[in-house]
Amino acid sequence: MVRILFIVFLCLLAPGLVSMGYSLWQGPAAWSVDSGVFWGMPISLFVFWIGLAHAGTLISAIFLVLDVKMERRTSILAELATLCALVVAVIFPLMHLGVIQNFYMVAPYMESRGSMANVCSPLVWDFCCILAYGLLSVVYLVVHVLADKSAVAASIHRPLAWLLFPMVLWVHTIVSLDFAATFVPAWRGAFFPIYFIVGAVFSGLAMVNIMLCAEGYRMRQLEKLMLVGSWFLGAFLLWDFALKGNLSVTVLVFAVLLPQLMFVSAVRESTLGRVLISSSIIVGLLLERVFLVFPSGVMGFGWVDLGLICFGFGLFGVIFLVARLKLSRVIEGEEVLMGEVEETVPKRPATGRFSYFAPLTTPEFRMLRFPLLLGIIACTLFLVWVVGCLEENGIAFSDANLVPLTCPIITTVAGIVLCLRPLVMHIGKVGGAVMVALAALLGVLAGMVYGGVTSVPSGAVVSSTGDMLDVGTLPDSTSTLDSVAIIRTKAVFEARCAGCHGADGRLNEKFVREYYPVPQNLDVSRMDALGEDSLVNVILNGRTNMNPYAGRISPQMARGLVRYMRLLAETPAVDNAATQNEGGDE
Amino acid sequence: MTPLMSSLACVMALAQAFFLWRGKMHILKEGLLLFGFFCISCVFTLLVGSPDDPQIEHYPLRMLALCLCFSTTSLPRYRRRYLVMAQAFWLWVELFGGIALAYRGIEFAWARSLAIFLLCCCSTLLSRISKEMEFCLMVFWIAIWILF
């Protein structure tokens, strides 16, 4: 059975790799993109896979902290599936970026490499959350695997689950804000955070159920949860329809109506029936993500898009099966119920099921209070630094923009301290101090390397088609643009530059919200300080996330563009807000 | 939404909470009840809210969260844990709904979120919850709902 599945997934992966390679080579033009929002298949697949990447750990952690009994093999399978789905999920936003080699710019490392990380952008929040979630999920799985053999691992398993519980919900909430914080009317929804969580958990439950069926296990509670999930998803779909008039009947049928067949005992009791219902949910949720990302309608869906879908499933299947085989001894070991693992913790009394603890005295709280305190301190220091950087550079922000960064920072620091603490206690104070010093040193070195490396142009993404655009004759650097040159330059500026810099030269607000670094705000004083030659050089050769335009426009046109931008910068900004709002509402 | 309708929503949440967690707990039964309450809240919001007001988008979820908070007072066991979790859910709805709305120019309701956060933190300090304390908590929740 495993071999057959492995071959099936390999067959999916092979064409998927071709599609992936073509997409990386060709860039965003390769896959279908919504004409209104410029987002395409990679974002749909990212949201879909990140949703699947939540359920495993979520189920495992929630069941553990709520004292719900769950077989260890089931929870380890679910956690493994989570990690594999996470690996698949992170590939797609990297593809979507276009400048894949600059992916690290999304890290909120404020002023490094000459550009300011945009902490107001949900993409930066995504990066922080997914990094923290991935790290903690790996640690959680390792601790879980070791928990039945090591008392130390068992002692931190439950506190770690308490840390992971809010984190996993936080991640998908932040993913929902990628949509909810935009101008696109179809994505406006203050209910999106909970709606996305429901969708993610629902699809994840279906995935875990398929895996359990493949393993020959069954978990009735999971099936009931799937049914409840389908009702809530249906309610959210109808609520969305009531507010905005959007409703996909296909999604409703696959993800809401078909799962109701679980009420039929013949379907429920058959493995094939359960697999088909779960697959229907997965398909429904995948379609739901696709329709969500394409509010103008899916057009130009081609082999690349299909290939990317195959790539996701194929890669997930191959990684999961390999990891499953490697961990088979652990998964198929003796039947230890998760809820019983905590009984090995010496501090927690095992007298009776419903033990009462006075406030702030539970074993988990005792273990977590110090790591959490450190996490809160680290987060506070980071936020103070961020606020200082933003104010120093005159970048507008709201306190609400910074809230999403808090949980990943606190949780990561707390998780690391929680796991290191027993280790430090085991190796003694001197060894611990040495380890902390080494970690600090490594951190400083990493920071120095990251901040100190010179900026590299974002690659030769140069079109080979068409003649170079020229503004005409600009004899010297002091001459000004005449009216003809202004018209020509304006046309080029609006075609090539306005997408990011805004038609008025004061940044496209949609771009600023969605893109990860804060683009340079080129006012007159800034432009004069940088100098015309320097700006011409940036246009021609690129800089960090600015693509090079040498070969597509002539040096004269680049100089013309710089002067046109200066003209725009000299124009009073009175009517800019109105212009931007008009553009934004379109 | 008018203050009168907002108060009515609060009463509805209180009434719905009465039906939750009664007798032996079954996932399907409780899930169906919550689903039903959510649908009722959606219909209520559509009927009394203005379609042009973006704040109605997460109003049914706010009602559901308030209902969950009220319902925790009738739980037989693990009351402090679920009390905190229900309030955390309410805070979640308010916080992230507020952030989504803030990006559209609607002022973030800091007072409400802070009040729920403080109440949530204070709830972790509660020892065995008496009837009087249950009443106080319900008064606090209603006050947050009505005043902020």
Which among A176, A194, A231 is the nearest to B61, CB-wise? A194
Sign of the dihedral defined by the CA atoms of residues A564, A567, A572, A575, in that order: negative
Contact A239 B42 (CB under 8 A): yes
> A356 and chain B: CB distance < 8 Å anywhere?
yes
pLDDT score of A211 more than 90: no
Instruction: Tell whether the model's pLDDT for residue A534 goes beyond 60.
Output: yes
B108 to chain A: closest CA residue: A400
How high is the pLDDT of residue A466? 43
Report residue B144's pLDDT band, with 50, 70 and 90 as the boundaries: very high
Alpha carbon distance A127, B111 (integer Å): 29
Judge: B99–A400 Cβ closer than 8 Å, yes or no: yes
Closest residue of B to A172, CA-based? B96
Of A8-17, A238-247, A574-583, the one with minimum mean pLDDT is A574-583
Q: pLDDT > 70: what percent of chain A?
A: 80
Is the pLDDT confidence value at B10 over 60? yes
**Which of B53, B81, B90, B103 is the best residue to mutate to test the A interface, defined by the most A CB atoms within 10 Å of its own CB?**
B103
How many C-beta atoms surround the C-beta of residue A411 within 10 A? Answer: 26
Task: Write down the pLDDT at residue A516.
Answer: 56
Identity of residue A105:
M
Chain B CB contacts of A513 below 8 Å: 103
Q: Where is pLDDT greater, at A138 or A27?
A: A138
Residue A334 predicted with pLDDT over 60 = no
Q: What's the per-residue H, E or C state across A42-88?
A: HHHHHHHHHHHHHHHHHHHHHHHHCCCCCEHHHHHHHHHHHHHHHHH
Dihedral of CA atoms A258, A260, A265, A267 in degrees, nearest 10, equals 20
Q: Do B39 and A235 touch (CB under 8 A)?
A: yes
pLDDT at site A4: 83
Residues A51-67: pLDDT tens digits? Answer: 998 878 888 888 888 87
In this structure, what token pair is assigned to residue B89? 């859910």
What is the radius of gyration, based on Cα positions, of chain A?
A: 27
pLDDT of residue A450: 59
| ipTM of the complex, rounded to two decimals | 0.95
pLDDT at A335 over 70: no
* Whether pLDDT at A502 is above 90: no
In this prediction, residue A85 carries a pLDDT of: 93
Q: Which of residues 187-246 of A touch B (CB under 8 A)?
A: 188-194, 221, 224-225, 227-228, 231-232, 235, 238-239, 242-243
The pLDDT of residue A218 is above 90: no
The pLDDT confidence band at residue A557, using thresholds 50, 70 and 90, is confident
Q: What is the pLDDT of residues B41-54, one digit of tens each?
A: 999 999 999 888 88
Contact check, Cβ <8 Å, A192/B100: yes
B104 CB neighbours in chain A (<8 A) are: 188
pLDDT for the residue numbered A256: 95
- Nearest residue to A455 via CA among A352, A548, A580: A548
Instruction: Report the pLDDT averaged over residues B61-70.
Output: 96
d(CA A446, CA A541): 28
What pLDDT does A342 receive?
A: 42
- Mean pLDDT over residues A249-264, rounded? 94
Write the residue in A169, A189, A398 that is nearest to B57 by C-beta: A189
Tell me the range of A154-163, B72-81, B111-120 where mean pLDDT is highest: B111-120
Give, as one character, the DSSP assignment of residue A150.
-
Residue A440, burial from CB neighbour count under 10 angstroms (0-12, 13-18, 19+): exposed
